[in-house]
A = this chain, B = another copy of it.
Amino acid sequence: MAQLFIALVHFPVIDRNDRIVASAITSLDLHDLARSGRTYGVSAFYVVHPVPDQREFAARVIDHWMEGPGRQFDSRRREALELVRIVPDLEAALASAAAIAGQQPLTVHTSARAVGRLGYAVLRERLEAPDGPPLMLLFGTGFGLAPSVLERTDLALAPVLGPGDYNHLSVRAAAGIILDRLRGH
């Protein structure tokens, strides 16, 4: 089974008016994506933010649960947060993942907009192939990944849809759903 990585990107993302922004790190995002990542056998979860203060905030959240007052409360939370790596940009995430997996992962764009046509069953097969390359799923905060990220990714997944055309999911729900479609039992 190919190794799977996830990255939560805070820059460059778009806001509600399609402007390029850096979004603030939300502590619940770190917990939720770490727990989903652990559930679905992810090798590492990259929290990507270019601003040092924001990376320090994320590090303090993790430290609270891994080493600080939260440590005694919940070993399952620790197991999940162990996956988190805080990095300034995607290049750093890819370098770290390449070191873990032994080769550079292909990047996979995820979006609520119809930018990608790669189906979930196809990507799931690639993940299950014994000799497949590692993959890194990119999730955007705010209103989604900036167009410049799409240009640099290797693959783009189809949007998650229900019975209608409304698909304004939170990144916490969307990441869980996409991981389940690719690795769920």
Residues of chain A having any CB pair with chain B under 8 Å:
1, 16, 28, 31-32, 35-36, 38-41, 73-74, 76-77, 79-80, 160-164, 166-170, 172-177, 179-181, 183-185
Contacts and interface: CB of A to CB of B under 8 A. Distances in A.
A83 to B, nearest CB: 11
A161 B16 CA distance: 34
Contact of A173 (B164, B172, B181): B172
B163 A41 contact: yes
A176 B169 contact: yes
A167 to B, nearest CB: 5
Contacts of A173: 32, 35-36, 172-173, 175-177
Nearest to A112: B39
A107 to B, nearest CB: 21
A90 to B, nearest CB: 23
A143 to B, nearest CB: 10
B168 A177 contact: no
B161 A35 contact: no
Nearest to A74: B16
Query: Interface centre among A167, A172, A179, by most B CB within 10 Å?
Result: A172
16 contacts: A28-B28, A32-B170, A35-B169, A36-B170, A38-B166, A39-B164, A39-B169, A40-B163, A160-B180, A162-B179, A162-B180, A173-B173, A173-B175, A176-B176, A176-B177, A180-B181
